[in-house]
Amino acid sequence: MFAQRIVLLAVIFLLWEINAAVARRQADQVTDANRNLRAADQNQAALERLLWSYDSKDEERRWGWSAKELDELFQKLDIATGRLDDNSSAASKWFTAIAKYRKAKKANFWYPDDFIYAKLRETHSEADIAVLCQKLMNTSKAKKVAKTLQHHLFQAWNNRGMRLEDVADLLGVLVSTTNSVRSGILVDYQLKLTGEAVTRVRHG
């Protein structure tokens, strides 16, 4: 009888140990799941802060450390859908991010001009892109990208044999235009072609 009680107590103790082990394992699983959920929430929050960082007053946030982030910023700023003339501030932020990315990579062929041009050209005219570049060349943080993109555009025009009058026509103005932005484009293109200043043509 005593031996049976010992066996019974041993069985009860063993079952208690098993139940305790199962309970601990379940608790650990719940803890791991909670930890994973917290990590996922933190990652999502970090991504959202990154995607919306251009709205922050902190202009030194490190946008553009990857090409994917630059593509996301392009979409987030609605550069493809809005008019470039009305959306130059958004484009300036994108150009600034590209400049930071290139500076980190120490070369302009990272996120190259032909790729930037192709993205803009999908929904915008050459004239609009040229005007945007001319405007942003006066913006300290975006001017490097604006300048190299303008050079890319001028090279494409030159390869097509476009004269100064052809560019003026594309811009919808006369060579003698007094529009400061479009006049600036013509001056820069003439310098690209000949190294000389534009000779104004009078139209009666």
Crossing angle of helices 67-76 and 2-51, in 10° steps, is: 70
Number of domains in the chain: 2
Residue 192 located in a structural domain: no
| Residue 76 and residue 16 share a domain | no
pLDDT of residue 45: 52
pLDDT (0 to 100) of residue 105? 82
63-101 tens-digit pLDDT: 445 888 999 999 999 999 878 888 899 999 999 999 999
Strands (DSSP E) contained in 21-141 are: none
d(Cα 115, Cα 134) in Å, to the nearest integer? 19
Q: Are residues 132 and 74 in the same domain?
A: yes
3-class secondary structure for 173-188?
Answer: CCCCCCCHHHHHHHHH
Are 39 and 88 found together in one domain? Answer: no
- pLDDT (tens digit, 9 = 90+) per residue, 96-150? 999 999 988 877 778 899 999 999 999 999 999 999 999 999 888 899 999 999 9
118 or 21, higher pLDDT:
118
Question: Dihedral of CA 7/8/10/11: which sign?
Answer: positive
Q: Please indicate, yes or no, if residue 81 is contained in any of the structural domains.
A: yes
| Section 166-176 average pLDDT | 95
Residue 46, amino acid: A
- How much is the mean pLDDT over the chain? 78
Please tell me the predicted confidence (pLDDT) of residue 53: 45
Say how far apart CA 81 and CA 79 lie, in whole Å: 6
What residues have CB less than 8 Å from 99, skipping those under 6 apart? 64, 141, 142, 144, 145
pLDDT of residue 26: 65
Residues 6+ apart with CB under 8 A from 142: 91, 92, 93, 95, 96, 99, 136
Is residue 17 a part of any domain in this protein?
yes
Examine the pLDDT at 174 and tell me if it is beyond 70: yes
107 or 171: which leads in pLDDT: 171
- Asked whether 51 and 76 are in contact (CB, 8 A), the reply is yes
Using left for φ > 0, alpha for ψ between -120 and 50, and beta otherwise, residue 108 falls in alpha
Q: Is residue 182 part of a domain?
A: no
State pTM to two decimals.
0.64
Residue 186 in any domain: the answer is: no
CA distance linking residue 115 with residue 108, whole number of Å:
12
pLDDT at 66: 80
CB atoms within 10 A of CB 24: 10
Show the domain range for 65. 60-161
